[in-house]
Structure 1
Amino acid sequence: MDQKDIEYFRVLLTQMLEEATQKGDLTLEDMTDNNEVFADPADRATMESDRAFTLRIRDRERRLIKKIQAALGRIEDGSFGICDECGEDIGVPRLKARPVTKLCINCKSKQEDDERVRGD
């Protein structure tokens, strides 16, 4: 991968990190603003369901932030775009589709096949 591609992914991942962080901050703000008292138990249940959904989204964003930070770390140490399994280069089209990936398409396919066989 040439330096132009590396810089492209550095900018892309930095933008993704900023967006995910902003979304997380907004999620937390929305949750702290909900101190309502509900007379109807159904309304309370709906609010609790919405809150649980929001927490699941926040957890996904938190995990994505960690993956983005790890990918930026791989850019810094020179291992970005190299498959963790086989050591081959990960194709640029795959990295454009999933910039935080650590596996080439062949190794990822094999991993998914193994998971299907084991029933994970």
Structure 2
Amino acid sequence: MRPTLSPDYRPTEDEEFMNPVQQEYFRQKLLRWRAELLAESSETLFHLKEESLSEPDITDRATLETDRFTELRTRDRERKLISKIDAALQRIEVGTYGYCEETDEPIGVRRLEARPIATLSLEAQERHERMERTHREE
């Protein structure tokens, strides 16, 4: 049985980390985000089907193709984001959501509010980015 959230509930650092209410809060937040992305994707598909590339003017056609490419690239990024949201929802179900994949330490409420799909604590993320920069420079 899932806990009921009040409309004004916001998780705080003062409560037990990833208690059932916090888990439900983030589950609902992730589901809303996922639904928004899917709705935008449906709108894009509808828009692309309605649009015609048979513009008589070559400049208009080029603009339309550029817009279409940009839109499709954005949707591809959102598709990848949806899979990260699904993974986060799965972590909520198994009880690992909110904990760093590297250290098993809590990621923190503030970081999860800003990036609900986060899998690394801030420290682990910074370490990971430093390693990437070091390898890129070599």
Same fold (TM over 0.5): yes
1:72 to 2:89 alignment: yes
Deviation string 1:73-115 (CA, Å, 9 cap, x unpaired) is 0000111011111111111111001000110000000111111
Where does structure 2 lack aligned partners over 5 or more consecutive residues? 1-16
Which one of the candidate residues 110, 117, 122 is aligned to 1:93? 110
Deviation string 1:41-85 (CA, Å, 9 cap, x unpaired) is 111111110000000111011011111111000000111011111
Look up the match of 2:14. Answer: none
Q: Which runs of 4+ in 1 moved over 4 A?
A: none
Equivalents in 2 of 1:115, 1:109: separation in Å? 10
Where does structure 1 lack aligned partners over 5 or more consecutive residues? none
Higher relative contact order (CA 8 A, sep 6+): 1
Answer yes or no: is the 8 Å Cα contact 2:37–2:78 preserved in 1. Answer: yes
TM-score where L is the length of structure 2: 0.83
Deviation string 1:9-67 (CA, Å, 9 cap, x unpaired) is 01101111111110111111111111242222111111110000000111011011111
1:82 to 2:111 alignment: no
Equivalents in 2 of 1:7, 1:65: separation in Å? 18
Look up the match of 1:13. Answer: 30
